[in-house]
Amino acid sequence: MSQVKLSVGMRVFDQEVEMEMTLPQGPTRLGTLLPVFRRVSDSLVELSARRAEEQGRTVSCAKGCGACCRQIVPLAEVDARAVARLVDELPEPRRSEVKERFARAKERLSEAGLLPRLQDRREFTAEEVKTFGLEYFRHGIPCPFLEDECCSIHESRPLTCREFLVTSPAIHCADPKPGSVEGVELPSKVWLALARAGAGEMSGRRFVPWVPLVMALDWAEGNPDEGPEAPMEKLVERVFLELGRKPSAGETPGAIPASE
């Protein structure tokens, strides 16, 4: 596949940043561009963490702290399909073990009475998202990739996971109280831009589609089609436009998890 180099400039906080990208030439899909947008996400996170340190705040996230791996973890649809592909490509017996963890997570959601509401997330209101997120966390359902309190797919972890960092003491993450967890401010979130870009031109932009990580396998099995290819330049432009825009008045905030 032929490739082309593209330079994209964007304003990050108070500075202009230019990113060089090597992209597939011609028509493509967002899924093909996901590795590129992971690098964009990592760059934004690095700049944001450096800014926090300049303000006297140090990122407290460390290996062995898996509290955030028990949150809902919203994924853009393109990332949910990537998670499903990753699991399918695992060698046995690991593939079966990880699939069993996904199945157990779904069972626990059902037993807790949370599964129907999570499947109906399009109807969430803003306040319901906050209360539901806390209730979900209280049940302590771990991410299927969590092993010994560490991410077993760290290099390939979803964008949402890459974009969640805190500077407050890590102990607060396991028992969050109002105002006790202080996150690193990002100028914008790539996972959310991809979710919006993948949604296309929906009437009123009322709902930003997202998939809970623990339901990614089931969702991807039922939604395998990414849709038609589009010119690479248009896809990149669409994502960067979404990175720079604020939520519209018609966009339901309840469609976005409370961490947003």
Report how far residue 180's alpha carbon sits from residue 251's, in angstroms, rounded to the nearest whole number. 28
Calculate mean pLDDT across residues 183-197: 91
State the average pLDDT over residues 92-97. Answer: 98
Whether residue 141 is predicted with pLDDT greater than 80 in this model: the reply is: yes
Q: pLDDT tens, 220-245? A: 999 999 889 999 989 998 999 898 87
User: ∠86-241-199 over CA atoms, to 5°?
Assistant: 50
Q: What is the DSSP string of the chain?
A: --EEEEEEEEEETTEEEEEEEEEE-SEE-HHHHHHHHHHHHHHHHHHHHHHHHHTT------TT--GGGGS--EE-HHHHHHHHHHHHTSPTTHHHHHHHHHHHHHHHHHHTT-HHHHHTGGG--HHHHHHHHHHHHHTT---TTEETTEETTGGG--HHHHT--B-S-THHHHS--TTT--BPP-S--HHHHHHHHHH-S-GGG-----EEGGGHHHHHHH-------EEHHHHHHHHHHHHHPPPPTTS-GGGS-TT-
Highest mean pLDDT, choosing among 8-22, 64-78, 91-105, 107-121: 91-105
Nearest to 54 by CA among 8, 10, 15: 15
On the question of pLDDT at 72 being above 70, the answer is yes
**Share above pLDDT 90 across residues of the chain, in percent, rounded to a whole number:** 50
- pLDDT, position 98: 98
Say yes or no to pLDDT of 208 above 90: no
**Residue 2 to residue 245: CA distance in whole angstroms:** 31
pLDDT category of residue 19 using cuts at 50, 70 and 90 = confident
Tokens at residue 63, please?
């290996």
Average pLDDT over residues 46-73: 88
The packing angle between helices 30-54 and 190-199, to 10°, is 150
Token pair recorded at residue 206: 């009322």
pLDDT in the model for residue 2: 81
Amino acid 203: pLDDT: 41
pLDDT at 206: 60
- pLDDT tens digits, 162-180: 999 898 887 788 777 767 8
Question: With 60 as the cut, is the pLDDT of residue 142 above it?
Answer: yes
Q: How far apart are the first and last CA of the chain?
A: 37
Cα 68 to Cα 141: distance, rounded to the nearest angstrom: 11
What average pLDDT score do residues 250-254 get? Answer: 41
pLDDT of residue 145: 97
Relative to beta strand 3-12, strand 146-147 is unpaired
Max CA distance (Å), the chain:
51
Q: How high does pLDDT run on average in the chain? A: 86
